[in-house]
Every structure is written in structure tokens, then in C-alpha cells.
A = this chain, B = another copy of it.
Amino acid sequence: MLKNSHGKPGQHRERHTMKSEHIPKATIGRLAVYIQVLENLLRDGTEVISSEKLASACSVNSSQIRKDLAYFGEFGVRGVGYYVQELITSIKHSLGIDRVWNCALIGVGNLGTALLRHHDFEQRGFVIKAAFDCDPDKIGKELEGMEIVCPTHLKNQAKERGIELGIITTPPDRAQRAANHLVDAGIKGIVNYAPARINVPPHIPVEYVDFFDHLYSLAFQVTLGNFEG
């Protein structure tokens, strides 16, 4: 009765419909990059761009861009290129980020607080609608106009507030319990910032974020470079 909320009852289907079933994960990652670069181009007043130019701005192969986009539709104009604004809109629609996603955050520690404070999430369409923590000292307190609630209330709140995604920012040993609460509440997907793996039913996608992965990767590359240089 409330599940079917992913946007206007779609009888009208435009040209921007999925073409293929399986899309490489790497493609999704690159689409995010394309958006980033395209938005900066738009800010600078560029209206049209070729796959060649966009490719070099993104440091990828131009066929790559055309292939990536082709998974979702035909967004370009032969002999011309892509209209920047239109392409941004199309990519966002393809990714499903042309709408608002209501989120629940579990774990109001350092990181959780930082995420609540900085409103970049909202700007990108991910609105944190409720904050949870099992620490009795925190429960009842307010943060950014949001009351911190015990995770046992997650199920009610999720239904009440139309929450679809969960954000885990607990310490590692609490991550699994947080995940269980989210699953139990019928959440559709989880972003896990806690440095621990979690187990959830296979139909629920989980994205792991570790802020240090990239630093590790960088350290490795620099170390390697030193051997060669």
C-alpha cells in the first residue's frame, strides 16, 4: 500500500528506457564521473560536447563513454555530439537519482554527526529523515532539528516517513545489528560506512564506503613509484 512510490505511475515512456539487462558496475561509477564533469562544463557555459572531448575531460576512452551511455538509450546526435544539460538529465534519470530518496541513519558518532551536519546529502537528493542510536545518553537529544531515536523504533518510523535507504555509521561491532534493524524495517538498500562487512538477504543491495581505501591506494602507488623512480 505504500511500496509503489518510485515516481509517477509510468504509462508514458520516453526514449530514455533501459536497453540492456545487465550493466557493469564500473559503468555506474563512470556515469557519476560524467555527471560531475558535465555539471562543471554546464557551469562554464558549454552546451554541446562530443564523446571525444568529454572522454579526455574524464580521462577515459571515447568508445567507453558511448558504450556506457548506450546501455540506457541514445542520447546523442550524430555529427553533433551530446547536449550537456539534456545528457545530465538523462544520466540522472537512468541512475534513478532524479528524485528524492528518504534515508535513515544509524549511529550518531563522529561520522554520523558530520553527515547529519553537512547538508550535501540533501542537495543531491538523499534526505536523512531519521537518526538512530542505541546509546541512552544520546536518545532524546536533538541534532540538526532531528531527534535521536532508539533503533527499536526503526520499523515504525521507516513506514511513517517513507524511508527506503539505510546509512550505517556505527562502530564496526554494531554494524550487523544495525543492518538487522534496517532489514527488519523493510529498507531497500544500505550504505555501510562502518569498517565491517554485514550480512543481509541477497535482494538488498549493500554499498561499502571506507574513506581510507583511496588513501591506501594512493600510498601504494606512491610507494611503488619510488621503487621505479
Contacts and interface: CB of A to CB of B under 8 A. Distances in A.
A186 B111 CA distance: 32
Interface residues of A, number: 69
Interface majority SS on A: helix, strand, loop or mixed?
Answer: helix
Interface string A190-201: 110001110000
A89 B38 CA distance: 42
A74 B48 CA distance: 53
Copies per assembly: 2
A36 B214 CA distance: 14
A101 B29 CA distance: 28
Contact of A36 (B37, B95, B117, B195): B195
A81 interface: no
Given A6-B223, A205-B222, A216 B172 contact: no
A225 B205 contact: yes
A140 interface: no
Nearest to A167: B215
Contact of A6 (B111, B214, B226): B226
Given A40-B196, A59-B197, A215 B220 contact: no
A2 B229 contact: yes
